[in-house]
């Protein structure tokens, strides 16, 4: 049974990754071209590229497809473990709820602290420290989301009503996230970079991730529902 969910996750993740690649290609790549042009103009020289921009754009789909298949496989295993523990009815809703939680912990919460930046933003000498801080926040955010889910489940078993339970869990999660934001180093300064281009770049990055996670949840859930219908028919 676990291997079945793993295969569904791989398939759904690959397709969702390619969808995210399409979004990034048409929305994000033009903004990235503008950001690179600004960087080169500011530096007054063009650095030699390891891969040309056309090659990078083709490689984008390979990268998003590989990322999608990898994350999708892990998602399939996580879904197999949590399936009977999720309160939603039907595998489609379970899948969407689980991807929403993972999207919040793995991307949305860290994005609020460390939003995506073009290549020219930030001191290159601090990239190691900034990367470590980002992945630390990702790990802690996922743990915070898991703790919030466990707390909500425990309060539900004790009979607490939905509105009150959601308010308590939401306030607790907000408090934990606020502490994490204060404890971790600040984000890199984007001073001197065009604000409109920076905002567009960040929105395209957020949109790419949103397309991927929404696509993963929907495609995986539909694959599960299709298999369930076949099983009932058989």
Q: Is 55 exposed, middle or buried (0-12, 13-18, 19+ CB in 10 A)?
A: exposed
Residue with tokens 């595998």: 91
What pLDDT does 44 receive? Answer: 45
What pLDDT does 21 receive? Answer: 96
Domain residue spans in the chain?
Answer: 2-120+191-233, 123-187
What pLDDT does 139 receive? Answer: 98
- Structure-block tokens of residue 203: 């929105």
Report the half-sphere exposure of 108 (CA within 13 A, side-chain side). Answer: 15
pLDDT less than 70: residues of the chain: 42-53, 122, 234
Q: Is 127 exposed, middle or buried (0-12, 13-18, 19+ CB in 10 A)?
A: exposed
């Amino acid at each position: 049974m676990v291997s079945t969910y793993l295969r569904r996750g791989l398939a759904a993740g690959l397709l969702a990754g390619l969808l995210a690649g399409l979004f990034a290609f048409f929305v994000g790549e033009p903004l990235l071209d503008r950001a690179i042009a600004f960087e080169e103009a500011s530096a007054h020289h063009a650095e030699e590229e390891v891969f040309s921009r056309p090659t990078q754009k083709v490689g984008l789909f390979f990268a998003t497809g590989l990322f999608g298949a990898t994350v999708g496989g892990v998602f399939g295993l996580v879904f197999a473990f949590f399936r009977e523990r999720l309160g939603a009815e039907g595998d489609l809703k379970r899948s969407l709820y689980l991807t929403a939680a993972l999207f919040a912990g793995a991307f949305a919460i860290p994005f609020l602290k460390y939003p995506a930046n073009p290549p020219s933003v930030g001191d290159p000498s601090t990239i190691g420290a900034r990367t470590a801080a980002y992945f630390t926040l990702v790990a802690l955010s996922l743990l915070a989301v898991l703790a919030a889910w466990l707390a909500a489940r425990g309060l539900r078993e004790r009979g607490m009503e939905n509105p009150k339970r959601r308010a308590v869990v939401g306030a607790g999660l907000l408090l934990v996230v606020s502490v994490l934001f204060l404890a971790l180093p600040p984000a890199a300064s984007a001073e001197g970079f065009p604000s409109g281009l920076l905002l567009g770049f960040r929105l395209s990055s957020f949109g790419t991730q949103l397309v991927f996670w929404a696509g993963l949840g929907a495609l995986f859930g539909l694959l599960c529902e299709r298999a369930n219908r076949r099983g009932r028919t058989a």
